[in-house]
Structure 1
């Protein structure tokens, strides 16, 4: 587990300081011992990947703070790993870059609406899942989509590298005109301006956008449950120790009521009907 501690340089400085104290005269051994040396190990830190542009899940606000269900889950897990909230560095993790960020060591783990798939598990490992979502469409309030067959006639937008985009192209609507961008915010602009007919991704993400004050009354979910998306916490490939520690934290989060609290806090205002906490399946 790559929880960062004091640097080698800091440790060396501390060792020299202790040596110097030990070699001093008896007069130096009074109240000026270890308690006044200012030494000791630095606080543990974690770098956690999240989304910066998903209201209700992972959002960086104008004042630089972070809000959302994934942020709350990440903060809870970090606390169980011994890292306080003030010692977390949140790093933006776009969908196409998540596997690369983990393999390069840019982050310790990722909590970013990261659906567990067999393809992804060839490159990274997961803990969890901690949430079950379903793929849907976000459409303009005066539009409607009544069936999967109708999607083939639409101009769609999704994020490159997402399971939603892949599912549309390969399974659900191969004849639809699908544009892929780096963020869902770009898709949302296209939906608002009429350039695209629908934004497709998980219903939890769509509910967060629809609930934003500036979009009140403009958009709605189509109400199509197109897939099951089990959100997991992405970790470096094969790190079973970290996987076990995070799974234990997730289990505690559900048992002590924190999971329900986080869901109500972040999704309750939108009226989103969420699924119960899923069973943890990623154990090896």
Structure 2
């Protein structure tokens, strides 16, 4: 009768059960809190390691490239190359290179109204010097001007992006000329005009031709119309724009040619490919941003932008160039991979790391009827 409930084998009082349950609950909460704290420490340490040793973000690349507080991007382009880059009477530019320039600018964070295009001469492309509206030389941010990537130019300090177009050297003559041109050797002792800073001059000398250099390809074509030279040679993508007729209803070009005559486009069997790149200047971050844009165009969901520009301006000229291929109809594969740092939630929300400002897919910009055509090398 005098024994307590525990010694008598009776169940513990309800308050004892509650106390034991509370102790177990507090223990679980403590363990959970400790686990969460450990996870936070691990994540924080991982973030610090990734930030310290991993690739930069897109925003960091823009800051390193000096674009963060910029409201305008200046790009040097050609103005006398139909189909590639041509200036029209109303001051607008059009052509394949122009579309590529706007595509890259968009991926760098600049809308079309924030882009200034300046005509640049071939000899000034390496220095990135173009004349502005006042006639003064200014340094452009990028050069997108049918600029062939060569070891010599790279050795002289030109920093190129990944290639964005592959074409080859070709020749045009007057259609009335009975000369058949199957190789540069068929131009032995002929007067052949080409761009003075192009990759074509050495090949002409090796073939026995007499090269005549000009700073603008339109000057070479005019010399051919005037029969001052026998032929013109440069990249096929440039020459093709002078071979076919201008589509009806288009605005005339600002660079005028006199006495236009029908031309014959010749495939001279050159094995060496001419790959065009963007002169990005010496800033590595600017080069990486441009390469990232071209990488996304080649491999990402926005690849139709390159194809739309190619089909409109270059593929449409193929019918007038006979067997000479104007250019390869696919974007060259990037030579390496540009990496930018993105967290998983950014990858889910932002499918294109090169343009984090835009969550929605870009709608292809329909080139206006104001603009069309151009050339370079």
- Contact in 2 for aligned 1:211/1:269 (Cα 8 Å): no
Aligned residue number for residue 292 of structure 2: 248
- Contact in 1 for aligned 2:171/2:231 (Cα 8 Å): yes
Aligned residue number for residue 262 of structure 2: 218
Change (3 A) 1:126 1:282: farther
- Map 1:158-173 onto structure 2 (within 5 A): 158-169=194-205, 171=206, 173=207
Shift of residue 236, structure 1, vs aligned partner? 1.2
Structure 2 length-normalised TM? 0.60
Q: Which moved more, 1:132-141 or 1:101-110?
A: 101-110
- Contact in 1 for aligned 2:280/2:290 (Cα 8 Å): no
State how far apart, in whole Å, the 1-side matches of 2:293 and 2:204 are.
34
Correspondent of 1:150 among 167, 186, 193: 186
Shift of residue 76, structure 1, vs aligned partner? 0.4
State how far apart, in whole Å, the 2-side matches of 1:45 and 1:2 are.
11
SS of residue matched to 1:79:
helix
Correspondent of 1:5 among 69, 80, 103: 69
Aligned residue number for residue 102 of structure 2: 75
Q: Which moved more, 1:222-231 or 1:124-133?
A: 222-231
Correspondent of 1:51 among 78, 91, 96: 78
State how far apart, in whole Å, the 1-side matches of 2:129 and 2:162 are.
17
- Contact in 2 for aligned 1:2/1:108 (Cα 8 Å): no
Give the length in aligned residue pairs.
243
Greater share of helix: 1
Structure 1 length-normalised TM? 0.79
State how far apart, in whole Å, the 2-side matches of 1:4 and 1:90 are.
20
Correspondent of 1:228 among 273, 277, 284: 273
In structure 1, the gaps of 5 or more residues are 7-43
Greater share of strand: 1
Aligned residue number for residue 107 of structure 1: 140
- Contact in 1 for aligned 2:128/2:142 (Cα 8 Å): no
Q: Which moved more, 1:50-59 or 1:141-150?
A: 141-150
Alignment root-mean-square deviation, CA: 2.4
CA deviation string 1:160-198 (max 9, x = no partner): 1111223323x4x2x211111110111101111211111
State how far apart, in whole Å, the 2-side matches of 1:142 and 1:282 are.
47
CA deviation string 1:41-60 (max 9, x = no partner): xxx21110110111111111
Shift of residue 2, structure 1, vs aligned partner? 4.0
Correspondent of 2:310 among 263, 266, 269: 263
- Contact in 1 for aligned 2:183/2:267 (Cα 8 Å): no
State how far apart, in whole Å, the 2-side matches of 1:229 and 1:283 are.
22
Q: Quick check: which has more Rg, 1 or 2?
A: 2
Change (3 A) 1:168 1:267: same
